[in-house]
Amino acid sequence: MASAFNSTLNTAELKHPLEVWAGVECTVNRVGEEYFDQLERNGHATRLDDLDLFAELGIHAIRYPVLWERIAPNGLENADWSWADERLERLRQLGIRPIVGLVHHGSGPRDTSLVDPEFPEKLAVFARAVADRYPWITHYTPINEPLTTARFSGTYGHWYPHGRDDLTFARALLGECRAIALAMQVIREVVPNAQLVQTEDLGKIYSTPKLAYQAEFENERRWLSFDLLCGRINSTHPMWGYLHDCGVSEAELEIFLQNKNICPPDIIGINHYLTSDRFLDENLENYPAWTHGGNGRDKYADVEAVRVCAEGLAGPRTLLQQTWERYKLPIAVTEVHLSCSREEQLRWLNEVWNAAREIREQGVDVRAVTAWSLLGSYDWNSLVTRSAGYYESGVYDLRSPRPRQTAIAKMVRDLASGRQPNHPVLDTPGWWHRQERLLYPAVSCPSSSPAPLLSHSPASSRPLAIVGATGTLGRAFARLCEVRGITYRLLSRKEMDIANPASVNKVLAELKPWAVVNAAGYVRVDDAEREPDICLQVNAEGPAILAAACAQHDVALLTFSSDLVFNGAESNPYVETDSVAPLNVYGCSKVLAEKLVLQTYPASLVIRTSAFFGPWDDYNFVTIALRQLAAGNTFVAAEDAIVSPTYVPDLVHASLDLLIDGENGLWHLANKGAVAWADLARLAAKKAGVSISSLISLPTQELGFIAPRPAYSVLGSNRGELMPHLDSAISRYLEEKS
């Protein structure tokens, strides 16, 4: 029956370029009696001018929420359309086509639920009201990912109505699919040419031979929502018996064979994530306990396939091909997002785009790729079951006073305008192709496509040059570039002397780096009072020479400054625009460095930071304090100097993200929190379970320092609070050291 609805690729479609769509994470889901609203969390609920930012990307369409729970939580007669009126009209003015969503992982207002027999009719009433109000809108996703939502709400119990059985899952799914069909029916009474863009997460399941039966079942079940809407679920369909066994009657299933309830998508929207593909393994001893589960017949671990399949994953290209072969309907990738470091986010979007473009050239009708989570998302690491504040940035980063463009924004603009993205970090495959992705014993997954297992970046990549091979910060940059797959060269002073212009220019000409990180410097604050000329030469003259060379070679520059540029007269955290007034020679050298670098090369990124501690060297304050206290030795620390300690791995990760984003000027990066040195020792000792009986707290003036220090040098920021809290940093420090 579905063949009547199959479309064939119109060659005229290929004359139109692959479109770039975008989307705002807009989930409004219910957990118990509480609703979690992403639009409130990300602030888009109150920021109309976000739409102008989105328009600057050059996107053609946007998946946009006109959500039932937000517009009419207390019935249609009490609906408030003002928010949608204003925003949809603005999108119309900007020339961005909205693909309107009515329910996004939700279950409707409080008077209904996914298993309410009247849910379909109730949603249809709302859909008709939307169409009547906005008759110019032509694209709809009445319910996002109905199968995924049914699983989370009916099988796993994460979301309302918190079912944990097959019947609740089946009734939720059938109710959603019928609601989609009814909604489109009434919408098309108003807008005859209205298009259904139906989304679903089509994760593939791999398994050991023993569990092949379970993988086969789940791989067939993943198509259920599309098969229902296309009228494919008849008595010969593999899922007919399963749904019947769940407790669904034949009459309920036959509803989806009636013409009025068949509603094939005009565009199939694929939402695919690296965690969507799973691997099932009965060898429980190879996996942590939290991965263990079963189906009543066998017990098995359920893990991310990318972490165990030796051959790598099938990838987006294979998924697009499979979808096309099954339905022969137009396709769009309707969500591309990755919770990871910036270069990995770029690599994933680039890989999906290239896959869509390549398969389109082979005759598959792929219409668009969607940059999802324009504003990032909150608490998806817990499947939005609690409000913990876990934030994943997206095309924009919300940790700044206003949404800040990331490197993904430039990539989206490039793709939308037909330009090939060319950021140097794209030369290295994403972590999902590299050897370190394998967290468990590698298992053969024959149905996946072979993928390269790379432990090092390609030699052809333009490297990141890191100056400071012997220092804590330089070594940390090298270590984390290795983890992140960023090609780098760690340079000693012998290899490149930044105080020697000829040396700097020679290395830049030969190495051709895309950026330079200056992690070198004179760091002995008290010695600087005795040898100011040396301190100024290393900390100020060298960075200025490096900045001039980077400007000449058009190479990005990242260099570091210090909280000691301030005098401590304030009692609130210092921000980037506060006046500097150093108390010592070291602070003066950093002030001069900032001035010279930014005058010479305004595109430079200068990061002020403070009070390093980290797991990979033995001479930072926290490590020494814990070592001495654990041994019962006396440890003396200042009780009156308030600082904002900085966990080196957090600093390096945030700095790399800013560098990749192309940020410039002054930035403050330190972990959130203000603490006296002595209290920092107490906090670390308490978390480590170490006695503080031998800790001695003294005023700074009694510690014998030569260089004066500010009593307060806490760093805040008016550009963006990118660093985690100090408490979290110390916990992760102890985990890394253990």
Active site amino acids:
586
By the 8 A CB rule, do 360 and 18 touch? yes
Least Cα distance to 404 among 658, 609, 598 occurs for: 658
Token pair for residue 120? 């379909």
Least Cα distance to 479 among 637, 651, 683, 718 occurs for: 651
Q: What is the rounded distance in angstroms from the CA atom of residue 63 to the CA atom of residue 86?
A: 16
Least Cα distance to 250 among 353, 170, 329 occurs for: 170
By the 8 A CB rule, do 153 and 107 touch? yes
Which amino acid is present at 178? Answer: R
Q: What is the CB neighbour count within 10 angstroms for residue 547?
A: 27
Q: What is the rounded distance in angstroms from the CA atom of residue 20 to the CA atom of residue 423?
A: 19
- Within 56-165, where are the H helices? 68-71, 82-94, 119-133, 146-150
- Within 191-268, where are the H helices? 212-221, 224-229, 238-246, 250-254
> In 3-state terms, what secondary structure has residue 391?
strand
By the 8 A CB rule, do 514 and 556 touch? yes
By the 8 A CB rule, do 42 and 3 touch? no
Q: What is the rounded distance in angstroms from the CA atom of residue 471 to the CA atom of residue 443?
A: 40
> In 3-state terms, what secondary structure has residue 33?
coil
By the 8 A CB rule, do 308 and 438 touch? yes
Q: What is the rounded distance in angstroms from the CA atom of residue 679 to the CA atom of residue 213?
A: 58
Residues in the chain: 738
What are the φ and ψ backbone dihedral angles of 18, each rounded to 5 degrees?
Answer: -60, 125
Q: What is the rounded distance in angstroms from the CA atom of residue 675 to the CA atom of residue 610?
A: 12
Q: Could you give the C-alpha distances from 571 to 16, 395, 565, 612, 716, in angstroms and in order? A: 59, 35, 15, 21, 12
> In 3-state terms, what secondary structure has residue 516?
strand
Least Cα distance to 222 among 113, 339, 326 occurs for: 326
Bridge partner list, 98: 62
By the 8 A CB rule, do 465 and 519 touch? no
Q: What is the rounded distance in angstroms from the CA atom of residue 394 to the CA atom of residue 373?
A: 5
Q: Could you give the C-alpha distances from 708 to 526, 565, 668, in angstroms and in order? A: 9, 12, 22
CA angle 664, 670, 676 (to 5 degrees): 150
User: Which residues in 542-654 belong to E strands, given as ranges?
Assistant: 556-562, 605-609, 612-613, 635-638, 642-643, 646-647
* H or E stretch covering 244: helix 238-246
Over the range 42-62, which residues count as b (16 or more CB within 10 Å of their CB) and which as e?
Answer: bebeeeeebbebbbebbbbbb
